[in-house]
Amino acid sequence: MKTGTRRILAASTALFATLTLSAPAALAAEEPWQLFGQGQLFVAKSGDYYGVCAGDDQLRKGAPVAPKDAAFKTYQVGQATPRNTATSIGNTDIKTVMSADKTWVVAALYHLYAKDVTKSGHHAKSFSFAVQSQLSTYGRFPVENLDDGGALARQMVAEAEKIAGPYTLKPWVSYKDGVVTIENLGVKGKAGWIKGLPMEVTFTHASAGEVKNTLTSAAEPISAQAEYSDPGEVSVRVKVSGLPADKINIWEHPEHQDLVVVPWGKSSLEASGTVSVPPPPTQPTTQPTEPETEPTTQPTTEPSQPETEPTTQPETEPTTTPTTATVDQPPTLAKTGATSLFLPAFGLASLGSGFLLFRRSGGEA
């Protein structure tokens, strides 16, 4: 008999996992780009937008422009980002702004460090260098020396790689002994499990209602449980938030440098599935056992006839006949009655030996 079931919450087992992006600010920001950094290592900022050179060989020129003055092309993180040769000048042999695997690192860089560019010029240049090191045109442009020899930029890249995707969320759910358990909770990136992410686990049962657990991801998978006694289906939902954005925008302007712009916002992953709580097992019924009885036999007795005492005829006194002679005759003894002795006739009535058939009733031995 199975004591529990275990089911991976994956697409093949009634699971859907989605990456959801929080809504960013409108892409038609009115505020002109403000520059931080120096030379090629600049960062353009407008509201919550931060732009780094996308490999375009054009310099900014003319009046200041704002994000609304050009088009944004949006691409999914995890896919190669094509280069628009109509707006990106030079390096015509390069067809992509960045390869698919680099988009994850770039999104993580913006997630962690974009807002640090206002701290100092060094932070701005280090961030710009870190982003450009992931682009297909890296090494094609002369780059200004960094004050620390690039230490901060390398640290930014190293930290971004720790949380970069692709991401997997594959919890599994099981039921055993009245407890529904979700294991393998957490998000795994390219470098391993990502810690510090907010997680919400929701259990829903028709009669027991909803139970929510708020957790934080760790450097290894964790679990959550809920107890159920009523049979029925339990639906489970896992939501992990706080991940980098899942979109990358390229701001394409025919007369200015194209910019890599990752919209400010965090994304989340969700997984859901179901598990069944079985009804309690029924106790097997047994037939009452009748007590065993020993076979009984009738006692064998020998019938007897009543014993009779032997009977005798009563003795009579001898009688004498008067004689006429003077000679004495010897007296004649009278016949005595014959004594008849009836020996008791013992008749033995034998029942013979026999067996009384009996049936043992009750359960099988």
Q: In the block, which residue shows the tokens 């907010």?
A: 198
Token duo for residue 71: 């088009």
Q: Which residues of the chain have pLDDT under 50?
A: 1-4, 10-27, 308, 316-365
CB distance 197 to 267 below 8 Å: no
C-alpha of 67 from chain center = 47
Q: In the block, which residue shows the tokens 């930290």?
A: 159
* Domains recognised in the chain with CATH numbers: 4-9+167-243 (2.60.40), 27-164+247-263 (no CATH)
pLDDT of residue 356: 29
- Alpha carbon distance 8, 19 (integer Å): 19
Residues in the chain: 365
Residue 365's Cβ-side half-sphere holds a number of Cα atoms within 13 Å equal to 3
Q: In the block, which residue shows the tokens 């088009």?
A: 71
> What is the DSSP secondary-structure string of 193-235?
EPPS-EEEEEEEETTTEEEEEEEE--SS-EEEEEE--S-EEEE
pLDDT of residue 63: 62
End-to-end CA distance of the chain: 25
Strand-pair partners of 318:
none
Q: At what angle do helices 121-132 and 100-113 cross, to 10 degrees?
A: 170
pLDDT of residue 143: 76
pLDDT of residue 265: 81
In 3D, which of 157, 96, 164, 98 has the Cα closest to residue 128? 157
- Strands (E) in 77-176, as ranges, are 81-82, 96-98, 172-176
Reported as a single tens digit per residue, the pLDDT across 263-298 is 878 999 999 999 999 998 887 766 666 666 665 555
pLDDT of residue 16: 40
Q: In the block, which residue shows the tokens 């009984």?
A: 296
SS3 75: strand
CB distance 224 to 238 below 8 Å: no
SS3 281: coil
- Strands (E) in 49-186, as ranges, are 49-53, 71-76, 81-82, 96-98, 172-176, 179-185
